[in-house]
Structure 1
Amino acid sequence: MPTYLPALRYGGPIRSVHALCRALQGAGHDVTVFTTSVDGPSDSNVPLLQPVDVEGVKVTYFPSRVLRRLYWSPPMGRSLDRSVSTFDVVHLHAVFLWPIWAAARAARARGVPYVVSPRGMLVPELIRAKSRLVKSAWLSLIERRNIERAAAIHTTSAVEASHLASFGWALPPVVTIPHGVDDPPALTGEPLSADVARAIAGPPPVLALGRISWEKGLDRLIAALPAAPDARVIVAGGDAGGQAAALEQQARDLGVAERVTILARHVDGADKEALFAASRLFAMTSLSENFGLAAFEAMRRGLPVLATPTVGMAEIVREVGAGCVVDPAAPSIAACLNALLADPDKARLMGRAGQAHVIEHYSWVGVARRMGELYDRVRATTAGRDGRP
């Protein structure tokens, strides 16, 4: 089986699912991943229609030639129909995508139990705000059946579980298991990109790292800057739908452009670690966030976190004193910025509290163990119904 080391330019679910698969493989599970080669407007340079080794995990990439936004791939559908009966459990990550429907349909047809992880995509407010008619139709015609007939639903936070419950569906068991958090990588001496080096040259910034998109609520953070004169913000991440330009215009309109740096690209490796190391605190002011993995990465590195209540990990920030959870209004965000920037000792204590909590509770080994226990329960329950061994 050939080995392939992808250059992942995405964060969030793609990275967390791959990390989960690595940890499950390390715990003794035999893991197989089906995905497509879609990489934004182009395709990843990967072997197709054959398993390749990606950091110890068997991954098969399938082509998607048309309807790429849905990741439609007839070759994947045919492979699922042929092979799904050889698996004990099928785990589907995300919703509103053709491969999820195809895998659920194939699993049901052959009596194989499946688990669905919505990955933060079933948030009523976000569905209403974007592509409401299309997504509502998909929910009614496809997704509701997929979810109601699953053996279990996996959510990553209590916030995500409450979003799911609000649909009023006849749900199978809902199990909350958080993402794991990778340890910081070893330093390699890799030189920094010029834009990152320039960005961190000034006073310690407030960092917002992740996709630059409307649902991330980055406009809320910028709106707080006039009332937080000592705050300097770095926003870094891939630009979704031209949001970076809108944020730059907002900063100019508010007269704070000199205190806002936007790196509209995926940031990883030495650049990412340099941003974390240079920052005073991390901000996540999303309209909705089922977990908030980037904020957990910041906590793992000892940064205090400013979060809004609709971020899934906000409950943990509040519980362990790892930062502040504030109303999304600009005055509330500004008050937290001012308090933590004015008291570095308090900020460091919060950062250490968050770091200790993440190390103790969010290792991938522990997450894989809990996920494996969920798979065992699903298998046992299904075997009692359909006679599968």
Structure 2
Amino acid sequence: MQTTHKLKVMHVVRTPDLSAGGFISYIDSLRAGLAEHPVSLSMESVFPRNQSARVLALKTPVSFFRRVQRKLVDTDVLHVHGIFGWHVLLGVWAARRVGRPYVLTMHGHLHAEMMRERQLSKRVYLALIGNAILRDAAAILVTAPAEAAIVEQRVPQARIHQIVPGLAVPAAAPRRDAAQAGQPLRLFFVGRLHPHKGLRELLQAVANATAQGMVLHLQVAGHGHAHELRRVQGDIKRLGLADQVELLGYIEPAERDRLLLQADVLPLPSRSENFGFVVAEALRVGVPVIVTEGVGLAPLVREHGCGTVIPVGDVEALTDALLSYREADRRAAESARAHAAAVACFSLEKMGAECAAVYADAARAGRLQS
């Protein structure tokens, strides 16, 4: 009886710390989507925690490289997350040394907003190393058309694969308690405290809507650099929002899911998001969203009518969007459409099948070259 070879795929990330962003959510979804495919996943990281990168800046990358190179001997494909960082440079170097193909998931690293941070060092890195890493990848995975267009400026279109991350979407929308007349509209913001997330614009919009007679309550889940936290706290005090805004800090996924079920609207006024996992999570449980045109899921939100899409950085448009959710009928209609959109678009099975095909092609090409 012929047995099917099980492909072994190693994922490399900067850190497995959930507070570092959507990398781990992506891998968890992929693992679930691959359950019926002959693919096994493993993961290696450079740093154990998001905060440990500077403390362990030299010793840990060296041990990471040795560990990855050793394990790649018994691995078919390396899957690298992002284009910047020790895990990319050393992971790809190890793959080349043992003759293994690698694929990349970009996670928005080449978006204009992300490129503005440490701009000079990133441009030098791309010119010296990064473009070669992109060029030699067996495949590059993106999550939205906007990201594909950015990557196409550096890589042939044939090697770019748009694969939408999947989620475990319940067949029926979860039961949620809607806000009653006279109660505050419950807003739930999830994201790092970082200027490109648009939290300070959201605080100004909440203050504007409050001045126009709307009653709102905003919960903010996420942490960031101390100086950004001080700016946010200063805005809350200056705008008189101390009784309306809760800063929760980082919360575990289970608590995030619980609070999502209590929310009326999830606003994410980011300057850029390659996908927007938290938006997908909100739609999954029937929560309408407010997103900017810079969020990868904005076209889906617009097409399915499950939220509001506004221009990037437009506080007036964000204020108007908040005010529009005074209407309970609108919230109920968008809630139903949100869950329907998640059922239609966020398939774990489709994500798994498409990634399994990419891995098989990469492994096949790697064997031919070896």
TM-score range, shorter chain: 0.7 to 0.9
Q: 1:284·1:308 contact (CA, 8 Å) conserved in 2?
A: yes
Q: 2:113·2:196 contact (CA, 8 Å) conserved in 1?
A: no
Q: Which residue is equivalent to 2:357?
A: 373
Letter in 2 for 1:253: R
Q: Which residue is equivalent to 1:256?
A: 241
Q: Deviations over 1:135-155 (max 9, x none)?
A: 222222221111111011101
Paired with 1:21 and 1:35, the residues of 2 have a C-alpha distance of 17
Equivalent positions of 1:171-210 (< 5 A) are 173-183=159-169, 203-210=184-191
Q: Which residue is equivalent to 1:233?
A: 218
Q: Does 1:33 align with 2:43?
A: yes
Q: 1:234·1:262 contact (CA, 8 Å) conserved in 2?
A: yes
State the SS of the aligned residue for 2:34: helix
Q: 1:147·1:171 contact (CA, 8 Å) conserved in 2?
A: no
Paired with 1:373 and 1:206, the residues of 2 have a C-alpha distance of 40
- Aligned residues, how many? 338
Paired with 2:156 and 2:353, the residues of 1 have a C-alpha distance of 28
Q: Deviations over 1:111-135 (max 9, x none)?
A: 322111121222223222x211222
Identity %: 26
Q: Which residue is equivalent to 1:67?
A: 57
Q: Deviations over 1:23-45 (max 9, x none)?
A: 325533122222235213359xx
Q: Which residue is equivalent to 1:142?
A: 129
1:253 Cα deviation from its structure 2 partner: 2.2
Equivalent positions of 1:1-389 (< 5 A) are 8-42=18-52, 66-67=56-57, 72-128=60-116, 130-166=117-153, 168=154, 173-183=159-169, 203-229=184-210, 230=214, 231-269=216-254, 271-328=255-312, 329-340=314-325, 342-384=326-368, 386=369, 388=370
1:219 Cα deviation from its structure 2 partner: 1.3
Paired with 2:17 and 2:73, the residues of 1 have a C-alpha distance of 32
Q: Whose relative contact order is higher, 1 or 2, with alpha carbons under 8 Å and at least 6 apart?
A: 2
Paired with 1:243 and 1:150, the residues of 2 have a C-alpha distance of 36
Q: 1:89·1:112 contact (CA, 8 Å) conserved in 2?
A: yes
Paired with 1:279 and 1:298, the residues of 2 have a C-alpha distance of 9
Paired with 2:19 and 2:205, the residues of 1 have a C-alpha distance of 30
Q: Deviations over 1:181-215 (max 9, x none)?
A: 2447xxxxxxxxxxxxxxxxx72411111222222
1:297 Cα deviation from its structure 2 partner: 0.4
Question: Do the aligned partners of residues 343 and 264 (structure 1) sit closer, same or farther apart at CA in structure 2, a change above 3 Å counting?
Answer: same
Paired with 1:327 and 1:121, the residues of 2 have a C-alpha distance of 21
Letter in 2 for 1:212: L
